[in-house]
Amino acid sequence: MTIRYDGQVAIVTGAGNGLGRSHALALAERGAKVVVNDLGGAVDGSGSSSDAALETVRLIEQAGGEAISNGANVANLSQVEAMVAQAVEKWGRVDILVNNAGILRDKSFVKMTMDDFQLVVDVHLIGSANCTKAVWELMRGQGYGRVVMTTSSSGMYGNFGQANYGAAKMAVVGLMNTLVLEGDKYDIKVNCLSPTAGTRMLDGLLTDEVSAVLTVEAVTTGLLTLCDNDAPNRTILCAGAGGYARTHIYETDGIFLAPEDQTPENVRANMDAIENTDNQKMLVGGFQQTDKFVAKASAYFKNK
């Protein structure tokens, strides 16, 4: 089966360079009409220019595809809504949203200003929420949608000097988890991509040899599997250098302490049992954790 997007419309944010450009080109090559969004700023978010987005559009058109450029700042909801309106006016619908736009303001937390923290969260988290909000009602109405958040190993596992970036990147996983539940009956599937690629965000940090294998195209290969009719749902797909893996969040079965035993000392004393991975599960809704703990308590009181 060949993955195609014929007749579909995709919005890719941050598509002027790097991963976003690769995503946009590949979606167009497989039949999608693409809105190439890019503010055209530097890696730290400063400045703006339409040149990068227009170049991506030119490359798509040169290859026989259809595309339009848009310079909306994803952190500005009104600009994002205007971008979606532009897509609908041009092509009548939006089927795919790839939340790829991002910036970096790396510093250790002790040296980081809260302005730099806020700005990174605004672009990565609020930007993803803005873009998704702007297409959400449209996708519900048409009974179809594919949304991809871009998360990061820095968020899921941590990375020195990236408290702002890591917090935002883990937050989009939480956004995905809830939107999966709310979009299910409308055939809106929401997934996360965790990329590793030799883009300008990693300039100066990688050797030429490592950069040569960390291609943007290898990441885009993974991205394409999250955007089509048969896409999975609630998947965190990790992609880089030709490697593909999936991140899961598990919760251990845990223990129950009787009311008279519910002290911090007893919790500490039982930490080995609490951390025991036997019977651990992937939960697919916050209520499942509550149900599990209530069931343990109910069983105890029933047997008293």
| Predicted local distance difference test score (pLDDT) of residue 198 | 67
Tell the CATH topology of 9-246: Rossmann fold (3.40.50)
| Predicted local distance difference test score (pLDDT) of residue 47 | 62
> And the tokens for 228?
């089509």
pTM for the predicted model, two decimal places: 0.95
| Predicted local distance difference test score (pLDDT) of residue 49 | 74
Can 186 be counted among the known catalytic residues? no
User: For residue 61, how far is the Cα from the chain centroid?
Assistant: 27
List the catalytic residue out of 5, 165, 186, 244: 165
| Predicted local distance difference test score (pLDDT) of residue 130 | 98
Q: How far apart are CA 226 and CA 223, in angstroms?
A: 5
What are the CA-CA distances from residue 3 to residues 138, 151, 242 (Å)?
23, 23, 18
Residues in the chain with pLDDT < 50?
Answer: none
Name the helix (H) or strand (E) containing 136: helix 127-142
Domain ranges across the chain: 9-246, 259-302
| Predicted local distance difference test score (pLDDT) of residue 43 | 76
| Predicted local distance difference test score (pLDDT) of residue 303 | 86
